[in-house]
Structure 1
Amino acid sequence: MTPELALQHIWTLAGCDPTALRSVSLSGDDPGLPSVFRVGSLASATIAATGLAAADYHRLRTGHRQHVAVQMRRALASFRSERYLRIDDGPPPALRDPVTGFYATRDGRRIQLHTNFPHHLQGVLEVLGCENDRAAVAAAIRHWDGAKLDQTLADAGLCAALIRTPDEWAVLEQAQALAGLPLFEIERIGDAPVEPPRRGDANRPLAGVRVLDLSRIIAGPVAGRALAHHGADVLMINGPHLPNIAPLVIDNGRGKRSAVVDLRDAPGRETLRGLAGGADVFLQAYRPGALAARGFGPEELARVRPGIVYVSVSAYGHEGPWAQRRGFDSLVQSASGIAWTERQAAGWDEPKHLPCQALDHATGYLAAFGAMVALARRATEGGSWHVRLSLAQTGRWLQSFGLVQDGWRAPDVSSDDVSDCLGTVDSTFGRVRGVLPAEMLDLTPAFYALPPVEVGADSASWK
């Protein structure tokens, strides 16, 4: 699979005008990072699709077409944005809890724990009955069979994944449910009048577009960040009780404002309902059905705000027995055979993840792409829209690309190697150095108009 073919698949699946593909140029070849998977093609295609959708929405506003270019090395830098983040020229930020990682089970399998949130760590320690110490956790896990522990932790609402081969994953009911789904869905869910793009800065494709970003960590926030760097007014909404990972708040908060709303009480729900009434895009990455239980499902919001574009991002998809299972990028890699395949190719003893959070970033860019396609449809035919994606669907697509023989031998890429892809901005966190947008639009360059801010720095209101 080449970047061009991958982009064509995305564009065609969304039902977009194929003539627009003549306005895109892609450069670079896999492997751009040490991996046997075609991560560079995934990065280039998803970022190019996002840029092309922004250019198309800008065309609706102004009548002008423009060219979009993506270099693979810049796209891969974007897919590693959290890795290249620096504050005041300090060391790379810590992103993982020490207990997170791979462990051997009693029956000779490997299982991955994900304990980067304190309550997830505490829950795992309670199930295992051990202290918060990696050696103690390893000793406790050696008393469990892998599949049993995997299911026990999932039933407890915790985050883990048994390392499976691609064949083991393929026979699971969840994998079969995903096999019946496309890469993403853009569905009309209600009637609403046509809404042409609002007047605004002609140099910003999404000027005037309001986005509520109810997501944390990487995939959803990357989608909101991409919409922000094309000019949308993006307001992040966090709950006062929900944990965050500080470096990711900084990296993915560029270009956004941030407010706190408590959906556990009626005043908080009323505040969010009021914000949704003035929004164009409602982006959320909770487990399927979680927000609907609070009164914020897609159909409910289409009644509150006819013409809403509702974007749902999940780990394992909205169908199948794992739809409610908590998950993160690395866990999906482990469960679906990606980590096993990388280990086999490199001859490692331990499972091996991709050299970036590729499923997170690709799903984030696809979510931004889907939101912009839906906005364009609203502008031409009206309606309310629902965009659905998952990390597992993205991972399944990546696995379909085929492998790069000996791709794992490619040299790694340091922060110094991509210094031309980085930019700095002053913020309340200090001097932030981060990856710049990778898509190059010749009429409306993408950029971050706002520095990252602390969680809750802004009021829960539209400008």
Structure 2
Amino acid sequence: MPGAAHAWRALGGDPALLDRVSCTPRAVLPARLPVLALARATVSVCSLAAAELSSVRSEGAGGGPAPVPAVHVDDGAVAAAFTSERHLRTDGRAPVTFSALSRFWRTRDGWLRTHANYPHHRARLLAALGISAENGEHRDDLDDLDAPGTRRDPAPRTAPDARDARDERDERDERDDAMLAEMLAAELAGRDAVEVEETVLAAGGLAVAVRTSAEWAEHPQGVRVSERPLLTTVRMDQTPLRTLPEPAGPGPLHGVRVLDLTRVLAGPVATRALALFGADVLRIDSPQLRENADTHADTGMGKRSALLDLASRAGQSAFEELLSAADVVVTGYRPGALDRFGLAPESLADRRPGVIVGQLSAWGAYGPWHRRRGFDSLVQAATGISLLEGQRDEEGEEIPGALPAQALDHGTGYLLAAAVMRALTEQRRGRCGSRLVRVALAQTADWLMNGLTSQAQHAPSASTSAPGTTPGEEPGGDQSRRQDLADPAAWLAEADSPLGRMRYVLPPVGYEGSPSDWSRPTVPAGTDPAAWW
């Protein structure tokens, strides 16, 4: 698997360990770009990083590390996991997905991609284009997420009256969005894509001009991305190793405490993987900026969940108490956005020597776009992926499309989890010090379009198009029209949870003898106190 070899090398892993990985290939995730190669590679290295760490934390017969367990990856499990949000059901209800205002739009000179799944982003988009809408909410504090997401948080489904209220609100929103979509289409048809991109950006909204891969390669941000490795890990200090308690259960991360300050989708995928392998993951959300309920249900497996206002003195005090005993801090907000809360990586290492900081962003911590918000769909549009995955209409015009999964999100999430576990392994081996791990959706996109494409020309995923796909179709749109070539039933499970009866996708990562499912189901946001067990 050349993709796995490249990723494992970027992670600093021993190439000899790749012999421990095997795969069951299946015809899944069809696309023009090697999406399956990306998905398989990221799941493989995440699994191998966990297997390696389990070896380091387990003593063999001679008193040294135990042999590294074998890793087996099944493409069917990988494809199901990369589309996990589609398979989720809560009491039989399918998740709420993309807003009608999150889509491609024709402009005077091409195409534009918008993201308006959160109410504040929706309001800013409309305001920037001079379109008024009722109920436009606007929040500035902690509105800095860089990871992709779904539409706004539906009301809890805990009682019939709540369900009825939510249904009525959704019907009203759908009618409003349909009307607003017509107004947006008319407005954007007379404007240039890049001009709208800058206008919406200035208003705090999210819109990106759809570019060709050649245009992105010449763009200042694209140039910077192409100069960078897939991911980076740097040592921030030389702090002596802290002793971890002996693993008290299955998985190599027992005794490891992880503070999860991420939002949809890549960051929560990473911390969900860490929770699978035994980490005590405490997700922290702002009371003023709750996560989408369906995305939280999908990515909250194995975690605890607390609400904490980092802008308050009480919240800061509680966070300092948590940090004083944390081993890992993972953030999913744009670089610099959390600095005012004392969450810059260097500041965290100063206050908690030896900590591992995982930092996820959309565009990277460099270049002219490093402070921009971003989501998987926007990165696809900017980097040329949307046009590569699109089609031509009857007149020969290019119509943008999308990958068969939010692969930048999921793939980057598994890379981040792998990097955190490799950093822990390096610490266990005596290479002391705090570490900063950085990943970015744009770097993963560059790998998909360049490195993986050159290595995987004959990969199973390199088919010409997805069967039944409409030009420009969203991965979060009508999923019945985009069918993977494998039945996901074998990789689905059901369980009761505080949210209701859940159907969810089993984890695709693991190794011989590792947990095959999470130890606890998703709990509602804010269920737990902001404290360690």
Q: What TM-score, normalized to structure 2?
A: 0.83
Change (3 A) 1:223 1:440: closer
Contact 1:196 1:378 in 2 (8 A): no
Equivalent residue number for residue 17 of structure 1: 14
Change (3 A) 1:42 1:414: closer
Moved more, 436-445 or 375-384: 436-445
1:256-314 CA-to-partner distances (Å, cap 9, x unmatched) read 00001111122212211221111111000111011122211111111111110000000
Structure 1, unaligned stretches of length 5 or more? none
Q: Is the aligned partner of 1:389 residue 2:450?
A: no
CA distance in 1 between counterparts of 2:323 and 2:330 reads 11
1:428 aligned to which of 474, 481, 498: 498
Equivalent residue number for residue 458 of structure 1: 528
1:67-95 CA-to-partner distances (Å, cap 9, x unmatched) read 110011211111111111111223x2121
Question: What secondary structure does 1:399 align onto?
Answer: helix
Q: CA deviation at 1:109?
A: 1.1
Equivalent residue number for residue 100 of structure 2: 98
Equivalent residue number for residue 50 of structure 1: 46
CA distance in 2 between counterparts of 1:74 and 1:441 reads 14
Contact 1:302 1:308 in 2 (8 A): yes
Change (3 A) 1:209 1:405: closer
Query: Where do residues 436-455 of structure 1 align in structure 2 (5 Å cutoff)?
Result: 436-455=506-525
Equivalent residue number for residue 464 of structure 2: 407
CA distance in 1 between counterparts of 2:462 and 2:257 reads 44
- Percent of paired sites with the same residue: 39
Contact 1:255 1:451 in 2 (8 A): yes
CA distance in 1 between counterparts of 2:423 and 2:203 reads 36
Q: CA deviation at 1:353?
A: 0.7
CA distance in 2 between counterparts of 1:415 and 1:22 reads 28
Q: CA deviation at 1:52?
A: 0.7
Structure 1 counterpart of 2:446, one-letter code: R
Structure 1 counterpart of 2:426, one-letter code: R
Question: What secondary structure does 1:432 align onto?
Answer: strand
Moved more, 404-413 or 334-343: 404-413
Equivalent residue number for residue 204 of structure 1: 251
Q: Is the aligned partner of 1:170 residue 2:217?
A: yes
CA distance in 2 between counterparts of 1:324 and 1:48 reads 31
Contact 1:189 1:385 in 2 (8 A): yes
Contact 2:28 2:485 in 1 (8 A): no
CA distance in 2 between counterparts of 1:254 and 1:223 reads 11
CA distance in 1 between counterparts of 2:391 and 2:20 reads 40
Q: CA deviation at 1:350?
A: 2.9
Aligned residues: 457
Moved more, 185-194 or 310-319: 185-194
Query: Where do residues 53-452 of structure 1 align in structure 2 (5 Å cutoff)?
Result: 53-62=49-58, 63-64=65-66, 65-90=68-93, 92-105=94-107, 107-132=108-133, 133-195=180-242, 197-344=244-391, 350-380=399-429, 381-400=431-450, 401-402=452-453, 406-410=463-467, 412-413=482-483, 417-452=487-522
- Aligned-pair Cα RMSD in Å: 1.8
Change (3 A) 1:191 1:86: same
CA distance in 2 between counterparts of 1:445 and 1:259 reads 25
1:290-342 CA-to-partner distances (Å, cap 9, x unmatched) read 11222111111111111100000000000000001111000000000000111
CA distance in 2 between counterparts of 1:17 and 1:146 reads 46
Q: What TM-score, normalized to structure 1?
A: 0.95
